[in-house]
Amino acid sequence: MIPAGNNPAKTAVTNAMTVDVEDYFHVSAFENLIAKSEWENQECRVERNIERILALYDQHKIKATFFILGWIAERYPSLVRAIVDHGHEIACHSYWHRRAFNQTLEAFTEEIITTKKLLEDLSGEAVTGYRAPSYSIGEKNLWAHEALERAGYRYSSSIYPISHDHYGMPDAPRFAYRPVADSPFLEIPITTSYLFNKKLPAGGGGYFRFFPYFISKALLKRVNKKEAQSAIFYFHPWEIDPGQPRQAPISAKTRFRHYLNLNRTEDRLKRLCQDFNWDRMDRLFLSAE
């Protein structure tokens, strides 16, 4: 086995490793099954999963960005401190995991301001990054970028340039761009790549569990080598947790999407850590600002 951090086959480009810190019962697919008032009664498994993720990153000398749900941070402040103590970036993933396109400007603004302050108070670090739940910034609510910029954020990673039945803005730029006129504020989309002239999602999540690893690796390598761009990869702590409580009743599509290959994700992440170079979002995209 090639030692961590010493793989000669790695590309020279450094990519952004990110984690959306939420638990299995927070996902949008379960929002009509598990009411927010019932979250307190669920078995919370995020702490043990984050411990495993931090250990994996320590082993491979990787620093990452953790987009944390305010609901999680408020209840598990030691988790926030542990992430900071391991040298990772703290960023915002909203408080209630409400999709941004379902909110008014006023409600969205209040949530991003209060959650930013909460995360900064708990971490002792400035919070400059935001990711909308379920990539819910798109053509109908591009006003969210200006709201984020006014609230003191410096970047968003909330757009996935694909077609999906729940989210996606397929015509959006594929790489980092400035969505607010006369502002350095960045939108940093989740990575897509091409296979046989077809644009495919390459940035992680359910697609990382669905595609065989060699496909994910090939798509990311193409972004690094052929386009000389940094990729943005993401996953959730519950995706390395095949022992999580099973939900019912749910549709066959939801069951497939949520539970597919949970038992394989951690091993794939280990290979991903070995095969590519990784760092925090702020270091990759804000250092030159």
Q: Among 48-57, 73-82, 168-177, 268-277, which stretch is predicted with the lowest mean pLDDT?
A: 168-177
The predicted pLDDT at position 252 comes to 95
The predicted pLDDT at position 5 comes to 45
What percent of the chain shows pLDDT beyond 90? Answer: 91
Q: What is the mean pLDDT of the chain?
A: 94
Show the domains of the chain with their CATH numbers: 14-285 (3.20.20.370)
168 pLDDT band (50/70/90 cuts)?
Answer: confident
What percent of the chain shows pLDDT beyond 70? Answer: 96
Q: Which residues of 247-285 are buried (b: 16+ CB within 10 A; e: fewer)?
A: beebeeeeeebbbeebebbbebbeebbbbbbbbbbbebb
The predicted pLDDT at position 3 comes to 37
Q: Is the pLDDT of residue 8 over 70?
A: no
Q: What would the mean pLDDT of 236-246 be, rounded to a whole number?
A: 97
DSSP state letter for 277? E
